[in-house]
Structure 1
Amino acid sequence: MDSNQKPKRKLSVGSEVLQSLFENGKSPLSEQFMRWKLWAKWEEVVGPTISKNAEPVGFQRGVLYVWVRNSTWMQQMSFMGNHIRDTINQKFEKNFVKYIKFTLDRREVPTSDQHEFRQMIQKIAPENDND
């Protein structure tokens, strides 16, 4: 090895390893990490005017749920949906957001995958009526 040549860095900081795992992985954890990053940078992605009138409230299987302040903004956002989706995918990860659903009602947003999780658990360990 030449004395002027620096040795290659072999060890990574733990946070770098975790961030790389979350950003490059396809696990449910990596999806939630990307969702959190989008929430944190929402104003930067859409700008201050839109961020004051619309906010991301849910994400499930490539569908981003965005709550909109009123019907006037709902109409406006419907015209900007594809542009917002493309901007998000450009800044974060290709095909992270496949579709944006705008809503005036936060109750329309799915809360979790508890139902699917429960079904999966029941397949693995069905309840026994004899217990």
Structure 2
Amino acid sequence: MILLRQLLDELSTKQPLFFELKIKMLLSEWDKIVGPVIARHTKVEKVENGTVYIVCDDSLWMTELTMQKDRLLKILNERSGKELFRDIKFRRGKVDGKVLR
């Protein structure tokens, strides 16, 4: 029996729509990927051309995560099973309605 993930992997190599769905499913688990503390201070804004755009609620988190970028890319690519992600860009902004100072 083919697992849903295997089917999605196969379809994602043939159809862009399924490729986008695979990325969205992976990044919907952002809190599991980075842990609850980091997830409270960040959110995935978008993915374009292999670059993940992350919003951070504080410049300290931006600095810390910039230093962890290689580790985060490795985790994302391991979870995806392929080298889907090449870069991560961070910016300061609103995260889950939290207003910045």
The bucket for the TM-score relative to the shorter chain is 0.7 to 0.9
Question: Which whole-Å CA distance do the structure 1 matches of 2:60 and 2:84 have between them?
Answer: 27
RCO (CA 8 Å, sep 6+): is it higher in 1 or 2? 2
Which structure: greater strand fraction?
Answer: 2
User: Which of 14, 39, 46 in structure 2 is aligned with 1:51?
Assistant: 39
Q: How does 1:1-131 map to 2 (within 5 A)?
A: 19-23=8-12, 25-105=13-93
Question: Which whole-Å CA distance do the structure 2 matches of 1:87 and 1:58 have between them?
Answer: 17
Counterpart secondary structure, 2:82 = coil
Q: Which runs of 4+ in 1 moved over 6 A?
A: none
Counterpart secondary structure, 1:43 = helix
Structure having the higher Rg = 1
Post-superposition offset of 1:22: 3.4
Instruction: Say if 1:18 and 1:77 are closer, same or farther in 2 by CA, change over 3 A.
Output: same
Report the TM-score when normalising by structure 2: 0.77
Structure 1: give runs of 5+ residues left out of the alignment: 1-8, 107-131
Structure 2: give runs of 5+ residues left out of the alignment: 95-101
Opposite residue 97 of structure 1, the aligned amino acid is: F
Deviations 1:38-93 (A, max 9, x none): 23211111111111111111001100101111111111111111101100100113
Instruction: Say if 1:98 and 1:47 are closer, same or farther in 2 by CA, change over 3 A.
Output: same
Report the TM-score when normalising by structure 1: 0.61
Does structure 2 retain, via aligned residues, the 8 Å contact 1:21–1:30? no
The RMSD of aligned alpha carbons is: 2.4
Does structure 1 retain, via aligned residues, the 8 Å contact 2:62–2:91? yes
Opposite residue 64 of structure 2, the aligned amino acid is: Q
Counterpart secondary structure, 1:66 = strand
Opposite residue 67 of structure 2, the aligned amino acid is: F
